[in-house]
Amino acid sequence: MTNTCDCRFARDYAAQFPDSVPLTSIYSRGDGVVWWEACRIDYARCVEVTGSHVGLACNRHAYRVIADALAEAPEAARRA
């Protein structure tokens, strides 16, 4: 993906996030790889958990946030 790429993925990635899709951003100040401030998105439900970058893959708090977000998702979004 470059600045001149016009493939569908690049167009979709650059497009505005759809209002009809709820977005949850999970971040950790102790990530160590990703700048946590970049994860705070105005139009998202932003949830801070503790842990490292790799550790988030098996973080029980992150999985709880994911489960809550999926449980709250509209029926149409769950079927997509």
Q: What is the pLDDT of residue 25?
A: 96
Maximum distance among all alpha carbons in the chain?
40
Cβ contacts of 62 within 8 Å, gap of 6 or more: 26, 49, 51, 56
Its pTM stands at 0.74
Look at residue 3 and tell me whether its pLDDT is greater than 80: no
Average the pLDDT over 33-38 and give the result.
94
Here the tokens at position 13 are: 């990635």
Look at residue 72 and tell me whether its pLDDT is greater than 90: no
Q: What is the pLDDT of residue 79?
A: 60
Residue type, 48: E
Q: How far is CA 19 from CA 26, 27, 38, in A?
A: 19, 21, 20
pLDDT band at 40 (very low <50, low <70, confident <90, very high): very high
